[in-house]
Structure 1
């Protein structure tokens, strides 16, 4: 019998504070129209001082657990994707495990930048298919606002904070059909965020640094290839995909991927305008939103894809 990782619950959390393009234009040389035309972003959420990656992850996780109607103690594995952990160690995964009151469960973090949730889904899929775990919680959670230089017009306009979660469980019904992940470390200089203490530069500020035009070109080409790879692996045609849930980085990159799939933008889940780029949280936040508002329904085939620093990129094809 084929074992699938079936989605049984989703969750999401966005901080209360909203930072608009107009707010940013008061401190850097930009405007609402300039930002929106180039990115598709109007506003983003900013975490409160007392919020952390683990506190936001807990809220998103509890939503997914409630939807799935399971006891948290049924979870065998917790995978947290984050580039903004509460601590270097212990992991945010372990902290989330404690917050959820789970004692007998494996928990750890992964770091694949904006592709983190896709990498997490890939790992969950392997654990469930192998029989090593039955119920897996995957969370993407980020406080990007704390690693952004708010005087850098090229990056501060892009990022926001939030957390998304998905619960997967072993099932004989089709669920996670395939996952595909890749990495290429040659492009470190195009998108990175240094760790000053580890580099012996503890007195140096650490912010996201990006060469936007170069990243854009690689992302568009790479995501085009991952679409082809996913369809070929499942012997599927473009027309069989009901929904595209992309990483919410840039409206032009998303439009290019939709064009590759010959999909109307009505079939694309977009949260970018009001959330910005929430890095590893964005795909799961968008997926959760479309599930909860009824757009994504049981039986729909959904393609999730992301591209991030590393470079990392990947996709997950789900029959919801």
Structure 2
């Protein structure tokens, strides 16, 4: 697995990581269908064998259960993994999500100590602010995060779902190594809203979550009814009603290109993300899919193939937003 620098502060990662969100429920509900703990742990171990040692989690997932699962998976072998986790959604002392945001310095210190305990480690490789707290200036939050680096609890800092100006404000306080945002053939907004341009200007790495369109690009979903009753994708406008079928028509064109190249649609989509010098962190909880995803890192796309893919799904053509109206208020802010 090829490795590249994530940002310009010294963090090196494989071009593909493993998104772990789907390995546990969130607030009692399954994210992408039922997960099995032993199968999830086996997937993490297989990922490492394939050169994918970059694990992405968050205290939100569970809450806290995902970090604890990863602790079991990496026990006795912590040094082999690069661990990224996030904070910012408030979790109370009873381990319950309040669904408020908290970026206050005191909460930053509380959150890191809790994550260190849950992950069974004394340091986090990459610590992200999951969402901006509208009530706390980004300078205050990142200032507190910087103190974690000085204390040796965190190696590198990251942000998730923030606007270009917020990135600049944060980077002026402490060097930011990575920004994580949804990015895929179906979600190319960072190309036009200034985020990607700003990251390249400042030497900050870009981590693409949901590079497979939350599983849509796999082609396994044929209708909105294919989602389990508690699958959170039912709440996403992009995968509801008429939007689903409009996007399915676009996907069929991608499937055609994948077939002609002898790869799966998922592998084609991942290869496209990676070809843009962006780290992809597709999520899976099954060995079969981590093996398929890993193989995508070896696929070379010609400039003609890239241009054709980008012409099929130009920026903004995907039908429906990627979150519901309420959640869209808190991305790219």
Point out the structure with the larger helix share: 2
Higher RCO (CA < 8 A, seq sep 6+): 1
Q: TM-score, normalized by length of structure 2? A: 0.31
Scaled by the length of structure 1, the TM-score of the pair is 0.32
The structure in which a higher percent of residues are strand is 1
